Amino acid sequence: MRVLVTGGAGYIGAHTVRLLVDRGDEVVVLDNLGSGQADRIRDVPFVRMDLAAAPVSEIEAVLRDNAIDAVIHFAAHKQVGESVAKPALYYADNVGAVAKLLMAMENAGVDKLVFSSSAAVYGNASGAISEAALAQPISPYGATKLVGEQIITAAAEAWPLRAASLRYFNVAGAGSAELADTVAFNLIPICLDRIADNQPPVIFGDDYDTADGTCVRDYVHVVDVAEAHLAVLDALPHDPGNIILNVGTGIGTSVREIVDALIEVSGTRLLADVQPRRAGDPAAIVGDINAITAFTGWTARFGVEDIVNSAWDARQSQSASASASAPW
């Protein structure tokens, strides 16, 4: 299969690119390198382009010139806080990119798409969440993901598009050091940055109605998420439509458990700093993954220990490389 991966130089995208290449697919990466890193994709054919800004004709040319069979679409802004501060940017770029990509795909006759969505579409929902749960995002980021799903669904009704939208929960860990998450916007990289600076990792709220009082989330290894994309791509049905699927483990882990595991693996003597709750944080969110398992047979292979250890190992490897290349 010839696959175009938009945002393929990003954290999850690069892991997916690596798996596609390893199994023998021909891959082209399209990325504007706003947050992606070109060295993650090695010698994979690369097109530097901003989907939201590019004319549809240029996107169509990439599809035609590379005889693309399917698209996996990751390219998007993804910072919840930034989306609150810059909502127009998020709607213009995240939604605009989906719309232009779909027009280009229709023109070029490319009818297979896997879309990177998010559990952020569920907003303040709590408990075990299935795809049937009400989608009611509370951030512009989550709203743009939901609108993206809606555009894809409408396109699948208008022309024979075969698509799936994957709603990830908390993606973490690393398949290798060069593919690690280097942007500290999620719990594990934030904690690792603080530990590296000899500052205590922070827990926001320890008075929730959970076993240890801290928030519970569904943490899923990035390699599992990448494997889910391949499984869904391979399983797309012949009939048009947009299948909505959760990607997680179905297992909840508390923030305290994650922080304690990071403290242990790092060998630090720092203790967690408990701060007041943040507004809008639900007590517990866990993904119901029965649908994706039934559809593809996929289930997560890695657990929290694998996530924490791989993130720490990647951080150590990156630190060692930086030290080795630093001037005297």
Q: Please identify every residue annotated as catalytic.
A: 141
Residue 179 · residue 10 · CB < 8 Å: no
CA-closest candidate to residue 71, choices 89, 97, 39, 42: 97
The kind and range of the H/E element at 325 are helix 304-325
- Give the ranges where 30-95 is alpha helix by DSSP (H): 56-65, 80-85, 87-90
Q: Within the chain, how many helices (H) and strands (E) appear?
A: 11, 15
Measured from the Cβ of residue 316, the count of other Cβ atoms closer than 10 Å reads 15
Instruction: Report the DSSP pairing between strands 2-6 and 26-31.
Output: parallel
Measured from the Cβ of residue 276, the count of other Cβ atoms closer than 10 Å reads 9
Buried b (16+ CB within 10 A) or exposed e, 22-52: eeebebbbbbbeebbeeebbeebebbebebb
The single-letter code of the amino acid at 158 is: A
Dihedral angle over CA of 17, 246, 109, 96, nearest 10: -90
Output the six-digit token pair for 324.
């080795």
